[in-house]
Each structure stands twice: as structure tokens, then as C-alpha cells.
């Protein structure tokens, strides 16, 4: 932010300069917005553990086990 030394109040110049890329390079602005939104993204459901899967396949012995509900 741009500040004045005499009064100590901030001006709106920082906001105007922050929108510079939105006007002259909208593709980059969209890419930056998408990257920023990835910080708040999370998984909807946790990944299942091997014990939670209904089918377990053993490749060494060539067998498959199906758990009954």
C-alpha cells in the first residue's frame, strides 16, 4: 500500500496497481486466481484404506478375496 508520511493514511493506489494484470493480461490473471484457489482446496472424502476395500487381490498367489457385507 502507498502511504503518505504526513498523515499516515493509506491511499487507493495499491488497489489500482493490483488490478493492472487483470486488464492487460487476463489469461495470467485467471491462471493466478486458479492457483490461489488451489490453496483452499481439499479432498471431499478421504482415500479408503486397504482394509476398507470390499475386494482384495493378491497378485503373488493369483487370488482375490471378496468381503461379505
pLDDT in tens, 3-61: 555 555 555 555 556 666 667 888 888 888 888 888 877 777 777 776 777 888 899 99
pLDDT of residue 21: 61
pLDDT of residue 1: 46
- C-alpha cell of residue 27: 489469461
Map grid coordinates 488451489 to a residue. 38
Q: Say whether pTM exceeds 0.95.
A: no
Amino acid at each position: 500500500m502507498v502511504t503518505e508520511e504526513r498523515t499516515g493514511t493509506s491511499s487507493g493506489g495499491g488497489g489500482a496497481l493490483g488490478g493492472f494484470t487483470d486488464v492487460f493480461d487476463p489469461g495470467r490473471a485467471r491462471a493466478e486466481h486458479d492457483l490461489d484457489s488451489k490453496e483452499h482446496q481439499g479432498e471431499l472424502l478421504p482415500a479408503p484404506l486397504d482394509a476398507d476395500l470390499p475386494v482384495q487381490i493378491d497378485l503373488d498367489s493369483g487370488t482375490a478375496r471378496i468381503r461379505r457385507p
